[in-house]
Amino acid sequence: MAYEKELKVAQLAVVRAAILTKAVFHEKAKGTVSKDDKSPVTIGDFGAQALIIAAIKHNFPSDEVVGEEEASSLREQKDLSSTIWNLVKDVKLDDPESDALLGGPIKSEAEMLDAIDMGNSAGGDKGRIWALDPIDGTKGFLRGGQYAVCLALIVDGDVKVGVLGCPNLPVDDRELLTEGIGAAATDAEGKGVLFAAVQGQGATSQPLTRGAVTPGHPIHVSQISDVSEAVMCESVEPGHSSKGDNALIAQKLGISRKPVQMDSQAKYGSVARGAGDLYLRLPVRKDYVEKIWDHAAGDLIVREAGGQVTDITGSRLNFGLGRTLTENKGVVAAPANVHPQVLQAVREVLDAK
């Protein structure tokens, strides 16, 4: 099967990084990290980026990575760097064969910093480029809600492999339909979902473990025929996506159920497994530019699960532009059969503004 090795490496790399982010999340939850509220996410971000890039480079040395973090500031902050190294050096998968596939543990602090720096690709529409967001949904991570470890392989501008590790997402989809999913979430072992997709091969999910991955079970977007029955997913943060516009669109579509608010690309996973039906991300600021690593994995996973993902103009998201997506064009993700109707409602509401 095409991209079989890439999929396995990506899944295991995300599993390995999630071991670290979960440890940091736990420490933060216990209040034992630092008083500086931002530091847990900084530690988790850098550490997870190092673990994932080292795994990619071990297997695919000439591939490029577009990563969110760069190590230059870390090289100057020796204390922070050694804090991160102390966590990173101990992370390994429970399954020795899987751990060996990733090249085993990172060998030194210098190697860790070098790995972080390899996330400096400019992106673009040529070649093999991995898009990496080590902790997407930092606000959710800090609040004790949802976050996602996100990795996608983009080849000549097209997303071929997408993996989302969602450590706080319930394995059982039905729990998702309850309100307050973000606040109620924990990272207790037994929670957490690993979503994956390969172009043309469908999307899967499996429990997020600490070791080997399985082929997973196929997931599908919901089968709704009447859009008025839909559950809408949206950001928790009002500054990231317009909740007012969402409410107007819901009204136009006859939707009466309350939206489910959730941080991070976990929203794409929820739509892909039919736990939520729609995900709308409508721009709130003209000058905000979405980054490719915030959407690449989720875009493929939803489309491979039978969904359609476009911007508000109805065009597919363009991952060949470099490190960013088309400026200020939002996201509309929905089951393919209702996507045209949803997009029409989005256009009507936005045009009327």
Ligand X SMILES: Nc1ncnc2c1ncn2[C@@H]1O[C@H](COP(=O)(O)O)[C@@H](O)[C@H]1OP(=O)(O)O
Catalytic residue numbers read: 45, 138
Q: Determine whether the annotation assigns residue 68 to a binding site.
A: yes
Which of residues 177 and 288 has its CB atom nearest to ligand X in the complex?
A: 288
| 224 annotated ligand-binding residue | no
Closer to ligand X by CB, 200 or 239: give it. 239
One-letter amino acid for residue 318 of the chain: N
Which residue has the closest beta carbon to Mg ion?
136
Footprint of Mg ion on 293-352 (CB under 5 A)? 294
Q: Among 6, 133, 173, 290, indicate the residue that binds Mg ion (CB under 5 A).
A: 133
Select 263 or 304, whichever has its Cβ closest to ligand X: 263
User: Is 133 annotated for ligand binding?
Assistant: yes
> Residues interacting with ligand X, by CB under 6 A?
136-138, 140, 235-237, 239-240, 263-264, 284-285, 288, 294
For residue 136, the minimal CB distance to Mg ion (Å) is: 4
Is 156 annotated as a binding-site member? no
- Which residue lies nearer to Mg ion by CB, 120 or 337? 120
187 binds Mg ion (CB under 5 A): no
**Minimum CB separation from Mg ion for residue 148, in Å?**
8
Task: Look up residue 256 and give its two tokens.
Answer: 């009466």
277 is in an annotated binding site: no
At closest approach, how far in Å is the CB of 203 from Mg ion? 20
Q: How many residues bind Mg ion (CB under 5 A)?
A: 3
Q: Residue 136, interface with Mg ion (CB under 5 A)?
A: yes
Nearest approach in angstroms of CB 15 to Mg ion is 19
Question: Which residue lies nearest ligand X, judged by its C-beta?
Answer: 235
- The residues of the shown chain that bind Mg ion, judged by CB under 5 A, are 133, 136, 294
